[in-house]
């Protein structure tokens, strides 16, 4: 078990913010997770649980304990892929395709750890983690006992789960099991997947070709955090009533949208931010990416609060223009 004091979190957040915590614990097995749970129960300090920090914005030092999983390894059990919560999620997508198990292709290149996929219900291009998660193994912090949690109990919704709500800081996730298929059934009707496939001359992609296209699309519009600090999509796409969407669509010809159900429609937050003139703009050292308005970036040396200030200015403009509240997907500490 890794146990460090006065530890810099710079390697653990993709925004590149050099904040520190009082103590940093990383567990690499079930027994170590149980030991960490014991430390958290006994300690009087606050604590937070993080993954790879790809969905995290630090605004100050944290006077408490930061915990993350270092559990590695994966194996297949029938059509199920059991992954250590500390594995890099995209590595597991690649491994599943190599082994001939399908269902996660559209989630390619989403940054972060396996454990975070179960907490955040990550999603992209018409697929969400909830579509493939079968079970989450964890240690209950209050008791130190191991438990297995099924998909239904997690109460997944768009970028939400009970791990972010009433179960926040109650479990240390050790493994996530994904239910996959030996039959490849591609999801192509989202965003510009089909257009990019056609550009490449691919009519009926295999799983690797679909993964490659998803990676190309993401790389074309998302900055490399090693070059420019960011956390990918900063805002969630808002879901509005059909009446509100139709009213806006009458004002904005060609307004993009995605059907949710008969009563609700999802509107891309990035499009609204772009309409408000923010794409490529900056406030001090924080800015909006010039290729994807959904992405806020650290242009060099920005403090977390500078990015929060930019976030708030954008939210204010979107609210005034569209009468829609957009909310950060990123966890702000």
Indicate the pairing of strand 264-266 with strand 258-259. antiparallel
Active-site residues, by number, are 159, 233, 329
In angstroms, the CA 283 to CA 13 distance is 21
DSSP characters for 144-167?
--EEEEEHHHH--BTTB-GGGTTT
Contact 133, 107 (CB under 8 A): no
| Burial call 121-131: b when 16+ CB within 10 Å, e when fewer | bbbbbebbbbb
Mutual angle of helices 207-221 and 89-98, in 10-degree steps: 150
Cα radius of gyration (the chain)? 20
List the end-to-end C-alpha distance of the chain, in Å, as a whole number.
25
């Amino acid at each position: 078990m890794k146990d460090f004091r006065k530890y810099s979190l710079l390697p653990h957040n993709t925004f590149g913010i050099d904040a520190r915590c009082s103590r940093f614990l990383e567990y690499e097995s079930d027994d170590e997770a149980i030991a960490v749970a014991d430390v958290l129960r006994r300690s009087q300090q606050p604590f937070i649980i993080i993954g790879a920090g790809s969905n995290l914005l630090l605004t100050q030092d944290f006077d408490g304990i930061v915990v993350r999983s270092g559990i590695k390894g994966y194996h297949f059990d029938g059509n199920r892929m059991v992954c250590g919560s500390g594995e890099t999620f995209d590595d597991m997508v690649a491994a599943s395709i190599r082994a001939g198990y399908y269902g996660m292709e559209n989630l390619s290149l989403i940054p972060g750890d396996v454990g975070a996929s179960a907490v955040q219900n990550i999603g992209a291009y018409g697929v969400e983690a909830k579509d493939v998660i079968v079970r989450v193994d964890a240690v209950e912090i209050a008791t130190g006992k191991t438990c297995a949690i099924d998909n239904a109990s997690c109460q997944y919704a768009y970028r939400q789960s009970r791990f972010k709500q009433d179960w926040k800081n109650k479990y240390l996730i050790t493994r996530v099991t994904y239910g996959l298929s030996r039959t490849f059934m591609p999801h192509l009707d989202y965003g510009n997947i089909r257009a990019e496939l056609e550009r490449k001359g691919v009519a009926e992609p295999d799983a690797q070709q679909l993964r490659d296209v998803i990676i190309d699309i993401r790389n074309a519009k998302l900055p490399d955090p090693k070059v420019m600090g960011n956390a990918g999509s900063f805002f969630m796409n808002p879901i509005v009533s059909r009446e509100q969407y139709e009213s806006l669509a009458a004002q904005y010809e060609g307004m993009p949208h995605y059907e949710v159900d008969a009563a609700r429609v999802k509107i891309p937050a990035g499009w609204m931010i772009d309409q408000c003139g923010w794409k490529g703009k900056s406030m001090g050292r924080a800015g909006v990416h010039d290729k994807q308005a959904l992405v806020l970036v650290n242009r060099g040396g920005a403090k977390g609060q500078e990015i929060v200030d930019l976030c708030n200015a954008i939210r204010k403009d979107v609210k005034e223009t569209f009468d829609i509240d957009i909310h950060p997907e990123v966890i702000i500490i």
